[in-house]
Chain A
Amino acid sequence: MSGRIFLLGDDIDTDQLAPGQYMKGGLDMLAAHCLEAARPDFAGSVKPGDVIVAGKNFGMGSSREQAAEALKHLGLAGVVAKSFAGIFYRNALNLGLPVLVADDISAVEDGDAASLDPAAGELVLEARNRTVRLEPLPDNLKPMLADGGLVPHLKKRFAAERAKEAGE
């Protein structure tokens, strides 16, 4: 799927992604305020298939997984960053939102047309015939992302365990 790129800076924190004052509301409300401090135009204009490209330490701060959930809810294809904060990185993959590290994002410009291929480890900048190389996901997390996140992954595991028990 193809979309456009939202280019952001370093240290995008979870209070910007999921502001505390909207945390008791539903996901629709949180998502409507996602990134409003850094990019007031974001929540209103983002479309399914769009990609965030950011600098270092994306998702720093809280463990609230609504930070990743809001991005997924808005239909984002994934986030590419120079580095991720540890808890956000785990949360995003647990929810099935692709998050990928790129050493060099200098070729990327805000508004570029792009498509993200997590499995191939590529962000293709379609209009400019350029490809940004992404670090492959750690081997232990590939099966989980392929299953769509931790819950479907565990469902599969428990189903297999039950089937084994039933067979014994």
Chain B
Amino acid sequence: MASTLAQKIIARAAGRDSVRPGEVVTAQVDLAMIHDSGGPRRVEPILKELGVGLFDASKVVLISDHFVPGDTDEGARILELTRQWARERKVAFHDGEGICHVVLPERGHLKPGMLVVGGDSHSPTGGAFGAYMFGIGATEMAGVLATGEIWLKVPGTILIEWQGRLSPGVLAKDIMLALCGRLGMDGGQYQAVEYTGEAIAALSMQERMTLSNMAAELGGQAGLIAPDATTEAYLESVGGSAGDWLGLVTDPGAELAAHHVFDASTLEPQVAAPHSPANAMPVTQAPETRFEVAYIGACTGAKYEDLKGAASILRGRKLAPGLALKVAPASMRDQQRAADEGIMAVFEEAGAQVLPNACGICAGYGADRLGEDVTCISSTARNFQGRMGASSSKIWLASPLTVAASAITGQIADPREFLNDGEGVA
């Protein structure tokens, strides 16, 4: 039977030769990722109530990122509880090393073909590595930790094909905002989104992670990309390998729920107006809007390559008067690499404030969250009302390049006008 990548992974995890879209199956979980917000503080009371331990501590990864840096009494208390749980339950623990969706692959936990659950809605990020990874809530996570299994309704696959190549100054983030605009925030229908085509094949792993990450904003359960030589090279760099799954793809002739085809070469940088990623439009058509804050942060928009791209635009330029640029590198490792290459120095020289490697403002946490009536342009994934602070604040979404360009002008700016010659912008 011709099968999609999603069907192949789920069939293996469910101990079946094949599965059909719409069937309900019980799958064995290869890995469960939890963080400090939905993790120990919420799952432990349930495990106690059930009177059981972890199904397999070696298949659980805990990452603190939501309440880092613990700058309030309550946040510090939650982090301490998280650390104590990691010691008692003997699970792999990454404390303050960055945002879970970035830390999980960079520390070598993900492999193609795995069935993975994450206690966070941006868990589809793991799909960039050919893992079927999806987000669940804390009670369901407690159930997984107790039993090692989860039910799934086998998804149909929505194949999203991008032909041609992206132009300079256009990133994966622009692809995702355009898709949110065209397909809507329920366009994914809780099915498996799979990205394919020449433009996708040409992307680096971190750019692919941005695509998979924002499958969440499309309402997909997962956001898959078939593993290839780029995946293999990344996995080897973190001490892993793609194993038998390298080259595993959706079969020609497999039944699809939908197949959308787009031209990457004509895509312009995008911005999304408050309060929805679906309010996307080309930057060239955006109304004049002034910003008090520009934010380069989150798993979606502050990985090493995002920082590198933003710095290429900021280098030798000044921030708009009165504008605050805040940069929260997505992981400690990415920040270190950026520092080694002089990228962090560019942010410092421009007058940016560098924040901890954590979810921070993107999740509405921390002292830097947006105040009343503040208008912000942000490289994050969501601009729902109140998401990053006060209900009266307004968030525009854009790529890290567009955020950097807008930080210079103080209003929505086209990053293509700021591309420095010879800069290797992805």
Interface readout for B133-149 with A: 1 if CB under 8 Å, 0 if not?
00111111011001100
Q: Is the CB of A158 within 8 A of B50?
A: yes
**Cα distance A151–B47 when bound, in Å?**
9
Taking a contact as CB atoms under 8 Å apart, the answer to whether B74 and A25 are in contact is yes
Q: Is the Cβ of B384 less than 8 Å from the Cβ of A24?
A: no
A118 within 8 A of B: no
CA distance A95 to B386 in the complex (A): 25
B24 CB contacts on chain A under 8 angstroms: 138-140
Q: Give the CA-CA distance A155 to B146 in the complex, in Å.
A: 11
Q: Is A83 an interface residue (CB 8 A)?
A: yes
Closest chain B CB from A11 CB (angstroms) = 6
B310 shortest CB reach to chain A, Å: 24
Q: How far is the CB of B104 from chain A (nearest CB, A)?
A: 15
Given A85-B190, A91-B137, A151-B139, answer yes or no on A63-B385 (Cβ-Cβ < 8 Å): no
Q: Does A62 contact B (CB under 8 A)?
A: yes
Task: Report B385 CB to chain A, min CB distance, Å.
Answer: 5
Which residues, 70 to 109 on A, are CB-close (under 8 Å) to B?
83, 85-87, 89-91, 94-95
Distance (whole angstroms) from the CB of A13 to the closest CB of chain B: 5
Q: A37-B391, A60-B186, A64-B38 are in contact. Are A19 and B364 (CB under 8 A)?
A: yes
B49 CB to nearest A CB, Å? 6
Within 8 Å of chain B (Cβ to Cβ): is A114?
A: no
Query: Which B residues touch A25, using CB under 8 A?
Result: 74
Classify chain B's interface size: 35 or more
Contact B147–A60 (Cβ < 8 Å): no
Q: Are B219 and A37 in contact (CB under 8 A)?
A: no
Instruction: Determine the residue in chain A with the shortest Cβ distance to B49.
Output: A151
A22 to chain B, nearest CB (A): 9
* CB proximity of B367 to chain A, nearest CB, Å: 11
A57 near B369: Cβ-Cβ < 8 Å: no
- Say how far B13's CB is from chain A's closest CB, in angstroms: 17
Q: Looking at the complex, which one of B74, B121, B185, B365 makes contact with A57 (CB distance below 8 Å)?
A: B185
Known: A36-B391, A56-B186, A155-B49. A85 touches B219 (CB 8 A): yes
Contact B387 A15 (CB under 8 A): yes
Report yes or no: B138 in contact with A65, Cβ–Cβ below 8 A. Answer: yes
Interface centre among B120, B135, B190 (most CB of A within 10 A): B190
Q: Check: B51 CB closer than 8 A to any chain A CB.
A: yes
CA A93 to CA B70, docked complex, whole Å: 32
Q: How far is the CA of A138 from the CA of B140 in the complex (A)?
A: 17
> Once the chains bind, are B119 and A63 in contact (CB under 8 Å)?
yes
- B137 near A64: Cβ-Cβ < 8 Å: yes
Residue in B46, B136, B185, B364 whose beta carbon sits within 8 Å of that of A151 in the complex:
B46
B151:A140 contact, CB within 8 angstroms: yes
Which residues of B sit under 8 angstroms from A15, Cβ to Cβ?
364, 382, 384-387
Are the CB atoms of B276 and A87 closer together than 8 Å?
Answer: no
- Bound CA span A25–B50, Å: 25
Collect the chain A residues with CB atoms within 8 Å of residue B151's CB.
140
Q: Is A16 an interface residue (CB 8 A)?
A: yes
Question: Which of these, B52, B123, B219, B387, contacts A20 with CB under 8 Å?
Answer: B387
Complex Cα gap A16–B385 (Å)? 7
CA distance A62 to B135 in the complex (A): 9
Q: How far is the CA of A37 from the CA of B384 in the complex (A)?
A: 10
Query: Which residues of B have CB within 8 Å of A23?
Result: 37, 66, 363-365
Within 8 Å CB of A56, what residues of B?
186
Which single residue of chain A is at the shortest CB-CB distance from B276?
A11
Chain A nearest CB, measured from B47 CB (Å): 10
B67 within 8 A of A: yes
Q: Is A24 a contact partner of B78 (Cβ separation < 8 A)?
A: yes
Interface digits, B54-69 against A, CB 8 Å rule (1 contact, 0 not)? 0000000000001100
A63–B38 touching, CB < 8 Å? yes
Taking CB atoms, residues of chain A closer than 8 Å to B136 are 63, 87, 90-91
- Smallest Cβ-Cβ distance to B187: which chain A residue: A57
- For residue B259, CB closer than 8 A to chain A, the reply is no
B153 is an interface residue with CB less than 8 A from chain A: yes
**A-B pairs with beta carbons under 8 Å apart, 20 shown:** A13-B382, A19-B364, A19-B386, A20-B386, A21-B364, A21-B369, A24-B365, A57-B219, A65-B138, A65-B140, A87-B121, A90-B136, A91-B137, A94-B137, A94-B139, A138-B153, A150-B139, A151-B142, A154-B143, A158-B146
Q: Which residues of A contact B (CB under 8 A)?
A: 11, 13-16, 19-21, 23-25, 36-37, 56-57, 60-65, 68, 83, 85-87, 89-91, 94-95, 138-140, 149-151, 154-155, 158
Closest 9 CB pairs of A and B: A20-B364, A86-B190, A65-B137, A91-B137, A63-B121, A57-B186, A63-B135, A15-B384, A94-B139
